[in-house]
Chains A and B, each alone.
Chain A
Amino acid sequence: MKIRFLPIAALLGFIFLYGPILSLIIYSFNESKLVTVWGGFSTKWYGELFRNEQIMGAALLSLKIAAISATVATVLGTMMSMVLVRFGKVRARGLLSGMITAPLVMPEVITGLSLLLLFVAMETMFGWPAGRGLTTILIAHITFCMAFVTVVVQSRLVDMDNSIEEAALDLGASPLRVFFDITLPMIAPALIAGWLLAFTLSLDDLVVASFVSGPGASTLPMVIFSKVKLGVSPDINALASLIILVVSVGIVAAALILQRKPKT
C-alpha cells in the first residue's frame, strides 16, 4: 500500500505549530485553578482577568504604545520607501535598502541593548529622554516597526506605474497634490497593512521593551512574563488567548488587504 507521506507530514507540522496554542486556548476555559488539571468548562478566568487592575493597566498601555508607534512608523516608513523607490538618483540605493531592512533580522536583544545605550547617552548629554518609560518604548517600537512598514509600502510602490503620477502632474497638479490625490489612495492598502503589522509587532514585543522600559511603564508582555516566572495562573491563559485573537485578526486583515490586487 502506498503511504500518503505528504498529508501526514503536513498534519504533523500543523499539530506541532498549533497544538500548544490550541491547548492554551482550551485551558483558558478551565474551571480548575490548577492549570494542568481539567475541571470543566468555565469563562470565570476571563472575568477574573478584567478585574485585575495591573493587567488591565498594562493592556491599555500596550494598546496605546502600539497605536502611536504604528501610526508614526507608518508615516516615517512611507517617507522612507518613497525616497528609496521614487527619487531617481539616490546613490547607494542598495546599501540604503539593505540598511532599512536590516532591523528585520537583527536580534532583538541587540536592538534593545543598543537603544538602551543610546537613551542613556542622550540623557547624560541633553537630558532627554528623561528616565525610561513610555517615551523610550515608543521611540524603540517606532524604530523597528518603521523597517517593516518600509518593506511593505516599498513593494507596493515598486509595482505602481510611474506614468499614473506623471499623468496627474501633466494635467496641472502640483507634486504635493499628486501625492495626496493619486499616490496615497493607490498605496492605501499597503499603508493599512503596514499599520496593522506594526501594531501587532509592537503589541507583542517583550525583549526590546524590557530593555528600554523603566519603572511604572510595564507593557502587557512584560507583565505576563513576570507573572509566569512565579508560576502559571489560569487567568494568564485567558489573557494569552485574547492576545492571540487580536494578533491573528491583525495579521489576517493585513494579509487580506495586501492580497487584494490593485485594480488597473
Chain B
Amino acid sequence: MITPSIAADAKPWRARTETPFVRVTNLTKKFGEVAAVDDISLDIYKGELFCLLGGSGCGKSTLLRMLAGFETPTSGQILIDGQDMANVAANQRPTNMMFQSYALFPHMTVEKNVIYGLLREGVPKVEAQDRVADMLRLVKLDGFAKRKPHQLSGGQQQRVALARSLIKQPKLLLLDEPLGALDKKLREETQFELIKIQEDLGVTFIVVTHDQEEAMTLSTRIGVMDAGKIEQVGEPREIYETPNSKYVADFIGSVNVFDAKVEIAAPDMMRVNADIGPILTEPMSGLTANQTVHVAVRPERIHLSRDKVEADNSMAGVVQEVAYLGNISVYHVVLENGHQIKVSAANSLHDDNPITWDENVFVSWSAAANRVLTR
C-alpha cells in the first residue's frame, strides 16, 4: 500500500497519533482591555491547508500575525515544529507570510522582490537566481522578471507575492486573504492553483479568509472564529453538515434556524416544539425536556411538492418568492402559521411546469436533516 503523502489524504487530525506541526495553547492577545484573540488552543498538522474563517474583527488576522511574529501574545504559547516561538523574532521564524495587500516592494523588480528573502538567508547569488527562475515558472510569471510591481495586473501581483513567500521554502506559510483582491472568476481559478502548489510543495498553509466558499474549496480543515474564539474546527463537510452552534450554522452556507423547546427526549425518538410547529428530529443524548434549543435545517434538505408527501416533518404553505440562480432555485415559503422557510431545489432541464409564485405547496424533510443546536 502506498502511504498518502499529503495531509488532505492522510487526515492526521482524525487519528491524533501524529504530533501536530503547529500547536497553539491558550493563546490570548489583548489590545487595551479588548481581547482580539481570547484563549485559543489549536492543533494544525504537517501538510494541512487550514483555513481560519470568520467575519471582520473576529481575531483571525491577529492570530495569523502572532504566528508570524508581528504581534506579541499577551499570554499563551505557540509551538512550530516543536519549537517555542516566544523569543523568536519575526525575521528568525520558519514561517513566511503572504499579505492581503501583497506588500510587494514597489521600487524593486519582480525578480528582486522574489530573490530578497534568499539573499537575506545568505544563499549565493547564482543559486538564488536559479531558484527564482524556477519559482517564477511555477507561478507562471517567467518573462515578467524585470517588470516593476505597478506594471502588473492584480492577478500577476498576487502570484509575485505568492512566489516571494514560497521562495525560502518555509515550513509554514501564512496567507492573509490571499485571493481577496481578485475578481470572482480569477479567484476561482486561483483557488485550484493554490491547492496544487500547496500539494506539490508539501508546505503547511494557514489561510485567513472571510469567504466561506473559499474556505470550503481550499481547506483540509476549517476553524470558524467569532469574537476572538474558535467556535468549531472540522473538515468542510463536518462544518457544513454538523455545525455545533447557531453561529457556525448561520455563517456557513444558507440555513433555516428555528428557536425551539425540547418536548420529548427519548432514546428512540425526539420531538421539539419550534416556533413553526412541532418538529421530529433524530434522538440526541444530553437533552432534557423543556430545554431551549435551535433547530437548523439546510434549504436543500427540504423537499418542495404540490402534493402532500409522507415524511417525518411536513407542513403546508404558499410560495412567496422564487429566485432563479441557474443551477438551483431558492423558494421562500410562508407557512400557515405565518413563519417563513427557505427551500432550494435543483433545476432540471425537463421540468415544463415548475413551482412558481403563490402556489400552495408542501415542505417536507426527514428527522435526520435536522441539526439540534444547544447554543
Interface flags for A151-169 (1: CB within 8 Å of B; 0: not) read 0000000000101101111
Any A CB within 8 A of the CB of B249: no
Would you give the shortest CB distance from B121 to chain A, in whole angstroms?
Answer: 6
Contacts of A172 in B (CB 8 A): 91-92, 117, 120-121, 168
CB neighbours of A11 from chain B (8 A): none
User: Within 8 Å of chain B (Cβ to Cβ): is A170?
Assistant: yes
- Interface check B192, CB cutoff 8 A: no
Residues in A whose Cβ lies below 8 Å from that of B68: 166, 170
The reply to whether B107 and A166 form a contact with Cβ atoms under 8 Å apart is no
Taking a contact as CB atoms closer than 8 A, the residue among A166, A171, A186, A262 that contacts B168 in the complex is A171
**Is A13 close to B, CB under 8 A?**
no
The residues of B that contact A175 with a CB separation of less than 8 Å are: 91
- Looking at B98-106, B128-136, B216-224, the stretch in contact with chain A turns out to be B98-106
Chain B residues with CB below 8 A from A168, complex form: 105, 116
Contact B150 A264 (CB under 8 A): yes
Known contacts A170-B68, A170-B97, A171-B164: A163-B103 contact under CB 8 Å: yes
Majority secondary structure, B binding face = mixed
With beta carbons under 8 angstroms apart, the residue of B90, B117, B121 that contacts A166 is B90
- The verdict on A174 contacting chain B, using a C-beta distance below 8 Å, is yes
B96 contacts the other chain (CB 8 A):
yes
Query: A227: CB under 8 A from chain B?
Result: no
Q: Within the assembled complex, what's the spacing in Å between the Cα atoms of A66 and B150?
A: 37
Check if B99 sits within 8 Å of A171, measured CB to CB: no
Candidates A163, A177, A262, A264; contact of B120 at CB < 8 Å? A177
The range of chain A's interface size is: 20 to 34
Q: Please, how many residues of chain B have a CB less than 8 angstroms from a CB on the other chain?
A: 27
A182 to chain B, nearest CB (A): 6
Interface residues in A158-206 by Cβ distance below 8 A to B read: 161, 163-164, 166-175, 177, 181-182, 185-186
Question: What per-residue 1/0 map shows which CB atoms of B130-170 lie under 8 Å from chain A?
Answer: 00000000000000000011100000000000001100100
Interface of A, helix, strand, loop or mixed by DSSP:
helix
Q: Is B324 an interface residue (CB 8 A)?
A: no
Q: In chain A, residues 54-77, which have Cβ atoms closer than 8 Å to a Cβ of chain B? A: none
Q: How far is the CA of A167 from the CA of B120 in the complex (A)?
A: 13
CA distance A230 to B104 in the complex (A): 61
Shortest Cβ gap from B234 to chain A (Å): 29
Contact call A263/B91, Cβ cutoff below 8 A? no
Give the complex CA separation of A177 and B97 in angstroms: 18
Nearest to B89 among chain A residues (CB) is: A169
Instruction: From B101, B117, B150, give the contact of A163 (CB < 8 A).
Output: B101
A264 touching B97 by the CB < 8 A rule?
A: no
State whether A163 touches B105 (Cβ < 8 A): no
Task: Select which of A163, A173, A262 is within 8 A of B106 by beta carbon.
Answer: A262
Residues of B within 8 A of A185 (CB): 107
| Chain A CB within 8 A of B357 CB | no
- Whether A167 pairs with B99 at a CB distance below 8 angstroms is yes
List chain A residues, Cβ under 8 A from B91: 169-175
Contact flag A186-B106 (CB < 8 Å), given A166-B90, A170-B96: yes
How near does chain B come to A70, taking the closest CB pair, in angstroms?
24
**When chains A and B are docked, how far (Å) is the Cα of A264 from the Cα of B160?**
13
State the Cβ distance, A39 to closest chain B Cβ, in Å. Answer: 55
Set of chain B residues within 8 Å of A163, measured between Cβ atoms: 99-101, 103
| Neighbouring A residues of B164 by C-beta, 8 Å | 167, 171
Do B103 and A171 touch across chains, with their CB atoms under 8 A apart? no
**How far apart are the CA atoms of A163 and B104 in the complex, in Å?**
9
Q: Of B70, B107, B120, B149, which is within 8 A of A171 by CB?
A: B120
Q: Nearest-CB distance from A226 to chain B (Å)?
A: 48
CB distance from B365 to the nearest CB of A (A): 47
Q: Given that A164-B103, A167-B103, A186-B106 are known contacts, is A264 also in contact with B90, CB under 8 Å in the complex? A: no
In the complex, chain A residues whose CB is within 8 Å of the CB of B96 = 170-171
66-90 of chain B: CB within 8 A of chain A: 68-70, 90
Contact residues in A for B168 (Cβ distance below 8 Å): 171-172
Q: Which of B92, B95, B107 has the most chain A CB atoms closer than 10 A to its own CB?
A: B107
Contact (A167, B148) CB under 8 Å given A172-B117, A174-B91, A177-B120:
no
A170 / chain B contacts, CB cutoff of 8 Å = 68-70, 90-91, 95-97, 165
Bound complex: CA A263 to CA B104 (Å): 11
B285 CB to closest chain A CB (Å) equals: 48
Give chain B residues whose Cβ lies under 8 Å from the Cβ of A174: 91
Q: List 20 A–B pairs whose Cβ atoms lie within 8 Å, in order of A's numbering.
A: A164-B106, A166-B70, A166-B97, A166-B99, A166-B103, A167-B103, A167-B105, A168-B105, A168-B116, A170-B91, A170-B95, A171-B96, A171-B117, A172-B120, A174-B91, A175-B91, A181-B105, A181-B116, A262-B106, A264-B149
Those 9 A-B pairs whose CB atoms lie nearest each other, nearest first: A171-B117, A172-B120, A163-B103, A167-B103, A263-B150, A163-B99, A164-B103, A185-B107, A170-B97
